[in-house]
Amino acid sequence: GAVVSQHPSRVICKSGTSVKIECRSLDFQATTMFWYRQFPKKSLMLMATSNEGSKATYEQGVEKDKFLINHASLTLSTLTVTSAHPEDSSFYICSARLAGGSTEAFFGQGTRLTVV
Amino acid sequence: DAKTTQPTSMDCAEGRAANLPCNHSTISGNEYVYWYRQIHSQGPQYIIHGLKNNETNEMASLIITEDRKSSTLILPHATLRDTAVYYCIVRGGGSNYKLTFGKGTLLTVNP
């Protein structure tokens, strides 16, 4: 299957700082990328959908000014958690859909964010 | 997208077939059934998907009932590495490719 790579896999940051997470499709072009977050022992919750070259669409209750998403190319999307607080500590996961009509999405390995 | 119902957890002996059920009684005609799994602290992994017909690939088989109100994911020879949370997701066709994850089934494969 297609490979999606997230970086970093783990990050610890101080409260009040910003953290950027990268999501790359390594061997395919991704028209659409999705960002999820997952709290311990909970399921994945969709945060936003990003399409290359346009603004992201955020799910209800997700602060777009806090979680900045940029999808500048067909192989890269970034999620920036701004002014991070301890409650933003979570497992963040991206997924990418192949351009050209494929229906399955492929997921990155996730990024564990800890805000201290 | 239609809601799905899965058992919270299941156990299976190593080497035996694991049959994971999923109910999706409100599924509509253009909605697909997808299965993903998530091994602890990793991103979800695509397994298989189908619309009406049964499907098989190198990982698993998907059996969809004729009325499409339920389906079963079959892992023919479960191994310890198949221990994971398995998610059954119903997704509409068209341009909305969002996947909505429920709570899934924790499958534990025992030696």
CB contact under 8 A, A112 and B103: no
> Residue B97's closest chain A neighbor by CA?
A103
The residues with which A44 forms a beta bridge, in sequence order, are none
Can you give the pLDDT at residue A19?
A: 97
Can you give the pLDDT at residue A52?
A: 82
Q: What is the pLDDT of residues A17-63, one digit of tens each?
A: 999 999 999 988 888 899 999 999 899 999 999 988 888 999 999 99
The residues with which A51 forms a beta bridge, in sequence order, are A32
Of the candidates A85, A44, A41, which has an alpha carbon nearest to the alpha carbon of residue A63?
Answer: A85
CB contact under 8 A, A4 and B43: yes
Contact predicate A9/A94, CB 8 Å: no
d(CA A111, CA A37) in angstroms, rounded, equals 9
Residue with tokens 């977050």: A37
> Residue B105's closest chain A neighbor by CA?
A43
Q: What is the pLDDT of residues A34-46, one digit of tens each?
A: 999 999 989 999 9
Contact predicate B42/A110, CB 8 Å: yes
Q: What is the pLDDT of residues B21-75, one digit of tens each?
A: 999 999 988 889 999 999 988 999 999 999 999 999 999 999 999 999 999 999 9
The residues with which B109 forms a beta bridge, in sequence order, are B12
